[in-house]
Chain A
Amino acid sequence: MSAPPPAAPLVRFEAVGKRFGDVVAADGVDLELAEGEFFALLGPSGCGKTTLMRMLAGFERPDAGRILLNGADIAGLPPHRRPSSMMFQTYALFPHLTVEQNVGFGLKQQGWDKARAAARVEAMLALVRLEGLNRRRPHQLSGGQKQRVALARALAVEPRIVLLDEPLAALDRKLREETQLELKAIQRATRVTFMIVTHDQDEAMGVADRMAVMQAGRIAQVGAPREVYERPANRFVAEFIGEANLFPAKDTGDGADFTLVRPERMTIAAEASPGAIPGRVAEVAYFGDRTRYVVKTDAGKPLLVSQAAGQAPLSLQPGDPAFVSWPKNAEVKVPA
């Protein structure tokens, strides 16, 4: 499942830079998005991912570099003339308008014929499964319903690309997981390019075809979720995506500074075996689908070990001796 970089990109960031006073929000960002893909921009808060999205929408101007859409520089285009459509983190629904007026807002502005606009609004409400709520006002909707109205409104204007700013952050966990799947289904059904900005790795990995991890205004890595997880480009990515056990690498001259072993690739046992690292259990946390152990090795290093449910149950308690091992192919070389 490796995703090659797009042949003819829909969107292309070229050496884009942006500062707010002393804060560098974007620093030489190069990025390409293909037509029809679901792209995630992932990073901790303050890494510049929202700024990058707002520059694409036209709400911020880059200080340096260019942003191309279908090969044409969009620097001179104000937001209302860009073929992108944004779904705001707070949803930004118009409180004085009904659900159908919200969804039809952009169509009215673009001068759509009334009957055609009404049909489009109905189709969008059906797409997000909100039929029958046409006359409600935003304050009469639940959080999940507001989120759907916001998505329907963004999609209604037939954008080339939909920008979703932390779309699930305001929802509770259960709803978030459902909505993730739905977002993906809607994206696949409409075949519109989606770009999602999020600080939540599960969210990004759950929906995206490809993702970019941002770190302090720079793109640390771009790739399919599996690539990024299994072959992180640097220590930051290794630790930001998933959980990581990092060991300083022996100087092998291949440029790697660390050896990464993911917790689920490690095996924990109560008895010693050849090559296993001895230690003591420090923490045990049971999650149902897996059990997570923290083992303090005799050398003093804490190791995270995740054991999937269904393996032989262990009755290890904090303080018990334990032995941790992993296959050689679980080791991944990571630069600093």
Chain B
Amino acid sequence: MWKVLALPYLWLAVFFGLPFLLVAKLSLSHTALAIPPYAPQLDLSRGLSGLAAFVRALSFETYARLGSDRLYLAAYLSSLRFAALATGLLLLIGYPMAYGMSRFGAGARRLLVLAVILPFWTSFLIRIYAWIAILKPAGLLNQALALLHLPPLTLLDSDAGVLIGLVYAYLPFMVLPLYAVLERHDESLVEAALDLGCTRTSAFWRVTLPMSLPGVLAGALLCFIPMVGEFVIPDLLGGSRTLMLGKTLWTEFFANRDWPAASAVAIALLATLALPMALVQRQQARLAGETQA
């Protein structure tokens, strides 16, 4: 039994635990003109004294810099704002979509679910590039607007472009958990509400919506968490002034060669997202418990 469990845990230890420790260690070092570009280096050939010297040289200095530099804080807040805004939009679009899907017959429902996951069959990168073709100044969207004698829109290289990209890319992650709870929804509960004096609308607000809240929470967190750290979408669709943590991290690492700062940004991001992730965990555990009851 324990052998079966050992393998995935070993996998996690090697491919998550170890890299995490490396990044955490990096975030406590400082930059240096060297290869690799940071210090101190751990020299285990000197034994314990080497380890002691190494630990003494570590510091939280980078984190202090993160706190004092306005750029990081702005990127941080801007990321949260983008993710929150996109999550709100996703809910507004995804909920009616999932609700509508769940009302269809079994055969049509299967087709509709397929349609939602169909985009996954092409490369994510290609799909985002396709959005460039749609949103660029002389792109498909503006050509269509011109045909209708409407003024063109500037969407590429803007915050709006990033939001469009986020909503597009994460829609399935919002729709599917919502659909999962709405599809299981017992129609007799709605009938009971109607029987007890509810109109269709009030039955939705008093029964269907509150009962689908676990799906709302699951979908929202499933989208919000990765969107905060999203890099590709803001990089390709956002402008040079679009601030997101993922981009900041990339710039620190590759442009500024400031590995400690990049690592500290990553750790800070992880720390913030640990709370919503714990929420997801708790939610899932509770759902599992209720299903068993």
Contact = CB atoms under 8 A, between A and B. Distances in A.
Interface string A86-130: 101010101110000000011001100000000000000000000
Interface in A129-158: 139-140, 153, 157
Contacts of A157: 196-197
Contact of A94 (B189, B202, B290): B189
B23 interface: no
Contacts, number: 59
A86 B198 contact: no
Interface in A72-95: 78-80, 84-86, 88, 90, 92, 94-95
Interface residues of B, number: 20
Given A88-B188, A139-B293, A80 B210 contact: no
B191 interface: yes
Interface of B: 186, 188-189, 191-199, 202, 206-207, 210-211, 213, 290, 293
Chain A: number of interface residues, binned into ranges: 20 to 34
A286 interface: no
A247 interface: no
B210 A96 contact: yes
A106 B186 contact: no
B196 A90 contact: no
Question: Ordered nearest first, which 9 A-B pairs have the shortest CB separation?
Answer: A106-B196, A109-B197, A92-B192, A79-B194, A92-B188, A139-B293, A86-B195, A80-B197, A96-B210
Contacts of B189: 92, 94
A94 B198 contact: no
A109 B196 contact: yes
Interface string A55-66: 001110000000
B202 A88 contact: no
A109 B290 contact: no
Interface of A: 57-59, 78-80, 84-86, 88, 90, 92, 94-96, 105-106, 109-110, 139-140, 153, 157
B197 A94 contact: no
Given A88-B188, A109-B202, A139-B290, A95 B211 contact: yes
Contacts of A80: 194-199
Given A106-B196, A109-B196, A157-B197, A88 B293 contact: no
Nearest to A139: B293
A194 to B, nearest CB: 15
Contacts of B197: 80, 106, 109-110, 157
Given A90-B188, A92-B186, A139-B290, A105 B210 contact: no
A94 B207 contact: yes
